[in-house]
Amino acid sequence: MKEMFDQLSARCSKLTTTSYSTSFSFGIYFLGKQLRQPVYAIYGFVRLADEIVDSFHNFDKKYLLEKFKQDTFEAIELGISLNPVLNSFQKVVNEYQIDHKLIRLFLKSMEMDLEDQLFTEDLYQEYILGSAEVVGLMCLKVFTNGDEAEYNRLKPFAMKLRSPWPPQHTPHLTCATHLPTPPPPPPRQRPSSAIWARRRRRWRRCCAPPPPRSPPPP
């Protein structure tokens, strides 16, 4: 009977993914069919933790995240969870032997998001490691199907895919945020008088009403 519950859990993870991220679910569609469900399971787990931090403002987020952390490792140890998303995730962790260290690093980065703080370069790199790199490495475990040698060969390249800036240009961040605020767009320039003149002529040719017709001669 657990097979039926596992199928339900897998559908919950997929629904979580498609509900929260159109782009991510669209990207998963291009994976091989055998890879899609494990990646849905990973994203569902990541999404729940992220929602605790980013959305549940009227609740004790610190308690919820700590409870989520305990439930996660309990599910992995027991091989089951009554939380369908965690049940789906533990199945992938145990099947593909995902390193528990990756999960702890991710949850630690979520804890860093609970309070505003000054992000120095070292702290920022630690945050990115937990919030972005390790999620990719979990997926890499699935892509390499437990082949440790292939995983270790591809790991350095997978970790480089997330870098939005070269190391020497890593910004200092304030507040709990995933990426720095992008620079404002350049001020919009007013068209020159010549451009306005061309636009008026174009409008007269195509849009202006025709001049009134002269009455016919008597």
SS3 at position 119: strand
User: What is the average pLDDT across 4-30?
Assistant: 90
More reliable by pLDDT, 4 or 197: 4
SS3 at position 137: helix
Confidence band, pLDDT 50/70/90 cuts, at residue 114 = confident
| Range from 20-29, 134-143, 186-195 carrying the lowest mean pLDDT | 186-195
pLDDT digit string, tens, across residues 99-111: 999 999 999 888 8
pTM (predicted TM-score): 0.71
In the chain, count H helices and then E strands.
Answer: 10, 2
Domains and CATH numbers, the chain: 2-174 (1.10.600.10)
SS3 at position 174: strand
Q: Cβ of 18: how many Cβ atoms within 10 Å?
A: 15
d(C-alpha 199, C-alpha 65), whole Å: 58
pLDDT digit string, tens, across residues 47-59: 999 999 989 989 9
d(C-alpha 38, C-alpha 143), whole Å: 10
